[in-house]
Structure 1
Amino acid sequence: MATLEELLRDRLASAFEAVAGAPADPSVRRSQHADFQADGALALARKLGRKPRDIAVDVVAAARLDDLCAEVTISGPGFINLTVAGDTIGSLLAVMNRDERLGVARVAAPDTVVVDYSAPNVAKEMHVGHLRSTVIGDAVVRLLEWLGHRVTKANHLGDWGTPFGMLIEHLLDIGETEAAHELSLGDLNGFYRAARAKFDADDAFKERARLRVVALQSGDEQTRRLWRLLVDESEKYFLAVYERLDVCLTEKDFFGESFYNDMLTPVVEELDRLGLLRESDGAAVVFPDGFTNREGDPLPIIVRKRDGGFGYGATDLAAIRYRTQELAANRLLYVIGLPQRQHLEMVYEVAREAGWLRAPARAQHIGFGSVLGSDGKIFRSRAGDTIKLVDLVDEAVARAAALIEEKNPELDEAARAEVARLVGVGAIKYADLSNDRTRDYVFDWKRMLSFDGNTAPYLQYARARILSIFRRGGVTPARDLATITVAEPAERTLAIELLAFPGVVTEVAESLDFHRLANYLYGVATAFTAFYEKCPVLKAAGAERESRLALSDLTARVLGTGLGLLGIGAPDRM
């Protein structure tokens, strides 16, 4: 379904081309002076050597807008103001209302997408530092799958390397049964700290750990079995956290570093065969084109270290090679913090030079900033410790439960618990996703759980309040209307917001800037609040009542669908 903005842009594009003699951007956008405004004449004026207002006059004369617009005027130096006809809005709303997907079609040519996100480490608990990757990645997966793309979730698990020597030796010291018990309780950090303390204090233990790493890398059967025990217990813990956080990662989505282990030597050999491999201080490296240090010297990606081990670069390159060649992915998305930007760009460049990342395949870094406390520093507990992710979720749900009990004490215990879960988890996710992901944001319990302002509880409550209209009236809104009447200004404002939904979804699917979707939903909710205050729904009569019920229902569906794409549940009652 084409949006109003797209319809106007297409009509004006033909007129601008007729006036300019070549394609020209009409530059259509929402406006405070009319429904929409086209500013293209201003950009075209210098190129044509004409006054922009004269260009605007000619464009309006050439444009075919009578069936779309009730009024077209020119203001200022050459702004074209467009007021859409009420009948046009009503007809488009009715089309959207009849569509289960709210005007958003499945993509005609699906991409094969790999989303790399979350990425915890074995024997270490997930903490607030994993929040953004997990929440943003989950939204990416939900949105792209909903649009019809083929999506592989790649949870790049840290399950290989030198720390496993000390972890396995500690496991042997305390016994497999005790180790499995400790890990099953979720005390991964305690297990890791105990192993680390031995490693730092006991030279004999350190030597045993070193030898155990060699045994692990050599494929020793007992060592591999113990390593698998550590991985399995850690994965159980991670899956429990994902369930609490309501994200869609599952057991089959774990792709540990060990998964790529057998691919590393072939990667190095192919880089060598392609003439890309260089020797630097005993290490095998690749110098990707265009990357230098402050002194202007080329920057390397280390693929094989001096001691024969493999660097992170080798694993990352093996992953790209596997994803493009074996999975046939043409869109690789890396939901990883902004500090890794240069490393990823270097890896992408090496993959391009090796021929593993070639058009139409593309790799994108979906970077993000940090979660900060009120002091502007990395968010930590009052004791200064890193906050466990599961504790964060539990506190959010507990705080939400107290608010729900205060607002609606009539809810039974089971219903209150479910609403608290949806509100608490939703508040955490929305606080993250409603901020520009490239920026840091301050974690503020009071603001994120507020029922006022741009928050998940506000949007959830707005939808629940709409559903209460139908319960109170004992009515079911019609979804087969030929048109929806929009006579009042508040109706028009809400209607135009709703009709923008397909365009917002399409734009966000490319940019993956979820704050744009979040802010759009907030705009819909505030527009509905104004509509509800000024336009009686149940007290209206006849066709007006039917249209307003349909408009209310459509609003609830847009809010529910939009929140769902963000990974946020929407309770029917609050």
Structure 2
Amino acid sequence: MKDSIRHLIQQALTRLTADGVLPEGLSPAIQVENTKDKTHGDFASNIAMMLAKPAGMKPRDLAEKLIAALPADADISKVEIAGPGFLNFYQNTEALAARLDALLADAKLGVRKNGPAQRVVVDLSAPNLAKEMHVGHLRSTIIGDGVARVLEFLGDEVIRQNHVGDWGTQFGMLLAYMQENPEAAESELADLEGFYRAAKKRFDDSAEFAERARELVVQLQAGDAECLRLWHRFNDISLSHCQALYDRLGVRLSMADVKGESAYNDDLANVVADLKAKGLLSESDGARCVFMEQFKNAEDNPLPLIVQKAGGGYLYATTDLAATRYRANVLKADRALYFVDQRQALHFQMVFTAARLAGFVPASMQLEHMGFGTMNGADGRPFKTRDGGTVKLVDLLDEAEERAYTLVKGKNPELDEAELRQIARAVGIGAVK
């Protein structure tokens, strides 16, 4: 409505300029605001007071001429002059009601996608399976789910990809701990965070344990059957924790949407080889990197995108490059949206640029980092518990529900327990989302 009223005022100004009432060359910023008192209309503009001096007229006199020059519009029932020369616009409520009726009769509320339907990959949530989901995973999960739902509603084909952290050196430590005491490990896995801390303590305290953990990483990456069995067991338990939270949050993510880092492991050597074949690889202190002219540090030296460490290991960048070409070549995506916090903005800019230079994705494919802020504590840093650990997402949701329960019960003591709990779930989880 504000845009519509600005357009009406602009037409009136053009007409008054043509009639010689206003001087040529005026191009004012037309302001339209909501009125504070609805008895004085729905919207107001101070345009007559702004232009009274250059027009050589009193504001109310110019306001009268503006009203006379305004084109008729079915959405506006009347326009009045208020105070020193405000134009007050009254919205035609019958026209508004008719518009709302028309929208409500349409399954898509009158909203149409701007452009053809697309095949869109939405990369969201992506917890590290070595630990339980924490508060830091909330925004990626909720915002990603919200956008995925909107795109589906508008007719896009959405492919959710939960790029979980299910690979890497920390898994050697976890496997070694599972091997050391399999029966205790099974019961301890109910608390992933405690399991991880116990494994980390053994890793830090015992050189022998640490060495065995490193050996197990090599065996896991080489495809050792027993290591893979334990690794699958650990991942299944970790993912079941995640799925319980997704279900509780009402997020449309399932086990079928999981496409973790491990899924790209077999392609990482190919990624490096293909980058080399394209002449994009350079060596720096034994590491293999991609240097791109547009990415430089404060000293104006090119920044490296490291794709292979000096010892031969691969990094997030390598996996992310493999994921871009899987999404382009296998999933045939027109667009890929990455819901990861803003601290990773440079990483994704570099990965996307390298992927295009290497021909991993076609020029027509959109790659977009949908960055957002972190959940910060009172110190302005990403939120931690008092002992320095991350806040478990399950604990946050439990507390939200309990607070909602207490509040609702205090105000509605006559409600039965089942209804109180149902309301507490809806209010608590909804508030967090």
- When normalised by structure 2's length, the TM-score is 0.82
User: Is the 2:356–2:363 contact (alpha carbons within 8 Å) kept by the matching residues of 1?
Assistant: no
Distance 2:175 2:14 in 1: 70
Aligned residue number for residue 150 of structure 1: 157
Q: Measure the CA separation in 1 of the matches of 2:152 and 2:14.
A: 37
1:12–1:26 CA contact under 8 A, matched in 2: no
Question: How far off is 1:413 after superposition?
Answer: 1.6
Residue range with higher mean Cα deviation, 357-366 or 152-161: 357-366
Structure 1 pair 108/376, CA: closer, same or farther in 2 (3 Å)?
A: closer
1:218 offset after TM fit, Å?
Answer: 1.1
Separation in structure 2 between the aligned mates of residue 73 and residue 357 of structure 1, nearest angstrom: 58
* Greater RCO (Cα-Cα under 8 Å, separation 6 or more): 1
- Alignment partner for residue 298 of structure 2, among 294, 299, 305? 294
Q: For the structure 1 residues 86 and 298, does the alpha-carbon distance in structure 2 shift closer, same or farther, using more than 3 Å as the test? A: same
CA shift digits 1:47-94 (9 cap, x unpaired): xxx98x9xx999999875433333458999x99875433332232133
Match of 1:130 in 2: 137
- 1:419–1:262 Cα change, 3 Å: same
Q: Which of 206, 214, 232 is residue 236 of structure 2 equivalent to? A: 232
Matches within 5 A, 1:329-340: 329-340=333-344
Q: Tell me what 2:96 maps to.
A: 89
CA contact (8 A) 2:6 2:32 kept: no
- Residue 174 (structure 1) shift: 0.8
User: Aligned partners of 1:374, 1:65: CA distance in 2, in Å?
Assistant: 54
> Residues 302 and 86 from structure 1, CA distance in 2 versus in 1: closer, same or farther, beyond 3 angstroms?
same
The CA distance in 1 between the partners of 2:12 and 2:355, in whole Å, is 44
Cα deviation, residue 195, structure 1: 1.6
Mapped pair 1:181 → 2:184: no
1:71-86 to 2 correspondences below 5 Å? 71=78, 82-86=89-93
Unaligned runs of 5+ in 1: 430-574
Indicate the SS of the match to 1:372: coil
Indicate yes or no: 2:273 matched with 1:269. Answer: yes
CA contact (8 A) 1:373 1:380 kept: yes
The verdict on how the C-alpha distance between 1:275 and 1:90 changes in structure 2, with shifts beyond 3 A counting, is same
* C-alpha deviation, 1:394, in angstroms: 0.6
**In 1, Cα distance between equivalents of 2:79 and 2:178:** 76
**1:414 is aligned to 2:421:** no
- 8 Å CA contact 1:107, 1:147 repeated in 2: no
Distance, in Å, in 1 between the alignment partners of 2:47 and 2:122 is: 37
Quick check: 28-37 or 363-372, which moved more? 28-37
State the distance in 1 between where 2:10 and 2:331 align.
Answer: 40
Q: How many residues align?
A: 416
State the AA in 2 paired with 1:333. L
CA spacing shift, 1:303–1:373, aligned 2, 3 Å: closer
Is 1:112 the equivalent of 2:116?
A: no
1 CA distance for matches of 2:375 and 2:28?
Answer: 39
Q: Secondary structure at the match of 1:386?
A: coil
Is 1:32 paired with 2:38?
no
**1:13–1:25 CA contact under 8 A, matched in 2:** no
Letter in 1 for 2:168: G
1:151-206 CA-to-partner distances (Å, cap 9, x unmatched) read 1222111111111112111111112x4433322x2x11122122222222222222
Q: How do 1:136-285 residues align onto structure 2 when only pairs under 5 Å count?
A: 136-175=143-182, 177-183=183-189, 185=190, 187-285=191-289
The answer to whether the Cα contact below 8 Å between 2:397 and 2:429 also exists between their aligned partners in 1 is yes
**Whole-angstrom CA distance in 2 between matches of 1:262 and 1:388:** 33
CA drift at 1:390: 0.5
Deviation at 1:29, TM superposition (A): 5.8
What amino acid is the match of 1:310? Y
- Flag the 1:244–1:68 CA change in 2: closer, same or farther, 3 A: closer
Contact 1:107 1:148 in 2 (8 A): no
State which structure, 1 or 2, has the greater radius of gyration over its C-alpha atoms.
Answer: 2
* Pick aligned residue for 2:377 from 369, 373, 382: 373
- Residue matched to 2:77: 70
Indicate conservation of the 8 Å contact 1:135/1:247, yes or no.
yes
The 8 Å contact of residues 32 and 44 in structure 2, kept in 1 or not, is answered as yes
Report the residue type matching 2:178 in the other structure. L
Q: Secondary structure at the match of 2:294?
A: coil
CA deviation vs aligned residue, 1:8-48 (integer Å, no higher than 9, x gap): 6787899999999xxx999786543864578999xxx9xxx
Question: Per the alignment, do residues 211 and 16 of structure 1 end up closer, same or farther by CA in structure 2, a change over 3 Å counting?
Answer: farther
2:315 to 311, 318, 321: 311
Q: CA 1:377/1:209 → structure 2, altered by over 3 Å: closer, same or farther?
A: closer
Query: Partners of 2:198 and 2:149 in 1: how far apart?
Result: 39
Equivalent position SS for 1:129: helix
Secondary structure of the equivalent of 2:155?
Answer: coil
Deviation at 1:354, TM superposition (A): 2.5
What is the CA distance between 1:400 and its match in structure 2? 0.8
| TM-score normalised by the chain length of structure 1 | 0.64
> Residue 527 of structure 1 corresponds to which residue in structure 2?
none
Instruction: Please give the alpha-carbon distance, in whole angstroms, between the structure 1 residues aligned to 2:360 and 2:64.
Output: 52
Deviation by residue 1:520-554 (Cα, 9 ceiling, x = unmatched): xxxxxxxxxxxxxxxxxxxxxxxxxxxxxxxxxxx
Question: Paired residue for 1:387?
Answer: 391
State the AA in 2 paired with 1:342. Answer: L
Q: Which runs of 5+ in 2 are unaligned?
A: 19-26, 58-62
Residue 186 of structure 2 aligns to which amino acid in structure 1?
Answer: A
Determine if contact 1:123/1:191 at 8 Å carries over to the other structure. Answer: no
Q: Share of identical aligned residues, percent?
A: 46
**Aligned-partner Cα distance in 2 for 1:358–1:14:** 45
Q: Which amino acid aligns with 2:198?
A: A
AA at the equivalent of 1:257:
E
2:159 alignment partner, SS class: strand
Query: Secondary structure of the residue that 2:196 maps to in structure 1?
Result: helix
Measured in 2, the distance between the counterparts of 1:279 and 1:13 equals 61
